[in-house]
Amino acid sequence: MRSYVVLIAFSFATAFLLTPMIRSVGERFIRGQLVRERDQHQAPIVKFGGLGIMIAFGAGLWLASQLSFFSGVFENSDPLRGVGIALILIAVLGLWDDVGDLRWYYKAAGQVVIGIVIAAHGLVIRSLPVGTWRIEEPWVQGALTVFLVVLTMNAINFSDGLDGLAAGLAAIGAATFFIYSYILATHVSADDYANVGALLCALLLGACLGFLPHNFNPANIFMGETGVLTIGLILSVSAIAVTGDVQGLDAHRFRNVPAYMPMVLPMVIVFLPVLDLSLSVVRRLLNKRSPFSPDSKHIHHRMLSQGHSVRKSVVLLYVWAALVAATVVLIAFIPLAVLIPIIVILVIGAALLTWWPLVSVRFVNLRRRLDK
């Protein structure tokens, strides 16, 4: 665990110190830039912050390669080489979009290529932790891998609408996945607790936390397409890597709890973005629009319309994400008879906090009517 703490601290410090430098350089590219109607800020803001997250992650990965604790992870370097190539493609695609605002089909094609790169370097979904379900056909493994990578990228992208929202949700997701992957590693091997999923999420956790102080409301820099694609890539690759560990594990608890299915877990830890993504696609198709076309009707926009400030909206979404993530982790350690009542109470509390502006307005209106 000590080595993971070192990596989290290193990636945090790198992102925290590097982001202001990126902002200073990026300010040269936003002169004369217009603010879009759906944006929540009043003046153009640099959108290259994702480079800080990416560089901090890459620097942390290099540091990990120098530590003997992670020697087993780097024995087969091909998967991590694939991650490196994918990050280079993300840098090109993300910066291109942040500067030139690419059309959705170019971005979708680029995401598919990134998923193919990951699959071509051996990071594919070979099994699901339900009984002994193995996926034997290579084309099915590759297709599922590409699908998961693209889906997770877009889930994160749809959450990037308020200051600090995507970075905070990613940090919560990375922390959850890190805990899960580390505990899984302790069950898989009594001698080596290092695995790819825990390593990637530890680095992502530190990088997102280091970026967050600069991105929280009022933000002075955004992560842009580079950031959301990087986060989506790392979360999905971590999930894919976990399938190999679960396949070699005989523990019934890990194999048959649905919340631990590697294809489901990344969707659980980014539950709100995925829900937002699904609702947005349905909404746009019903309106005969492209499912990738932007609008201002996401969950965070609706919270603002209810009367929450930007900060309160973001913090409330953090609360919901943490609640879902904690449930996923604790279900393996706490009996359901004890856990369910606790979760119900927490959900009710979170719901009251979320919808209190609407409830309070209706309560005031009702009271006025009774007074008359």
pLDDT single digits (tens) 114-125: 999 999 998 888
Least confident of 126-130, 263-267, 358-362: 263-267
Asked whether the whole model's pTM tops 0.95, one would answer no
Q: What is the pLDDT of residue 40?
A: 54
Q: What is the pLDDT of residue 202?
A: 94
For residue 233, what are the contacts with CB-CB under 8 A and spacing of at least 6? 83, 86, 87, 90, 114, 118, 149, 152, 153
Q: What is the pLDDT of residue 262?
A: 41
Q: Which has the higher per-residue pLDDT, 354 or 54?
A: 54
Mean pLDDT of the chain: 79
Instruction: Name the most confidently modeled range: 16-20, 153-157, 219-223.
Output: 16-20
Name the token pair of 188: 């898989």
Report the 3 state secondary structure along 229-288: HHHHHHHHHHHHHHHHHHHCCCCHHHHHCHHHCCCCHHHHHCHHHHHHHHHHHHHHHHCC
Query: For the residues 292-320, what does the mean pLDDT come to?
Result: 68
Q: What is the pLDDT of residue 276?
A: 64
Q: Would you call 134 helix, strand, or coil by DSSP? A: strand
Q: What is the pLDDT of residue 34?
A: 57
- C-alpha span between 270 and 169 (Å, rounded): 7
On whether the CB atoms of residues 166 and 160 are closer than 8 A, the answer is: yes
Q: Would you call 127 helix, strand, or coil by DSSP? A: strand
Task: Show the domain range for 221.
Answer: 2-297
Band (pLDDT 50/70/90 cuts) for residue 192 is low
Q: What is the pLDDT of residue 361?
A: 56
Question: Is residue 212 situated within a structural domain?
Answer: yes
Query: For the residues 286-303, what does the mean pLDDT come to?
Result: 61
Question: Is residue 349 situated within a structural domain?
Answer: no
CA distances, 303 to each of 27, 154, 312 (Å): 30, 21, 9
pLDDT tens-digit readout, 19-60:
999 999 988 876 656 555 555 556 678 889 999 999 999 999
Band (pLDDT 50/70/90 cuts) for residue 306 is low
Q: What is the pLDDT of residue 290?
A: 62
- C-alpha span between 143 and 116 (Å, rounded): 9
pLDDT at 175 over 70: yes
Question: Is residue 247 situated within a structural domain?
Answer: yes
Question: Is residue 365 situated within a structural domain?
Answer: no
- C-alpha span between 171 and 130 (Å, rounded): 27
Query: For the residues 72-96, what does the mean pLDDT come to?
Result: 91
Question: Is residue 216 situated within a structural domain?
Answer: yes
Question: Is residue 12 situated within a structural domain?
Answer: yes
- C-alpha span between 273 and 157 (Å, rounded): 8
Task: Match 């992208």 to its residue by tokens.
Answer: 157
Question: Is residue 231 situated within a structural domain?
Answer: yes
pLDDT at 251 over 70: no
Helices (H), 138-195: 138-159, 165-188
pLDDT tens-digit readout, 237-250:
988 887 655 554 44
Question: Is residue 324 situated within a structural domain?
Answer: no
- b/e map 212-245, b = 16+ CB within 10 Å: bebbbbebbbbbbbbbbbbbbbbbbbbbbbbbbb
On whether the CB atoms of residues 316 and 303 are closer than 8 A, the answer is: yes
- b/e map 53-91, b = 16+ CB within 10 Å: bbbbbbbbbebbeeeebbeebbeeeebbebbeebbebbb
- C-alpha span between 47 and 22 (Å, rounded): 10
Name the token pair of 203: 């680095």
- C-alpha span between 148 and 236 (Å, rounded): 6
Q: What is the pLDDT of residue 52?
A: 95
Helices (H), 27-103: 50-65, 78-100
Q: What is the pLDDT of residue 252?
A: 42
Q: How many domains does the chain have?
A: 1
Name the token pair of 307: 């009367």
For residue 79, what are the contacts with CB-CB under 8 A and spacing of at least 6? 121, 122, 123, 196, 241
- C-alpha span between 234 and 181 (Å, rounded): 13
Band (pLDDT 50/70/90 cuts) for residue 254 is very low
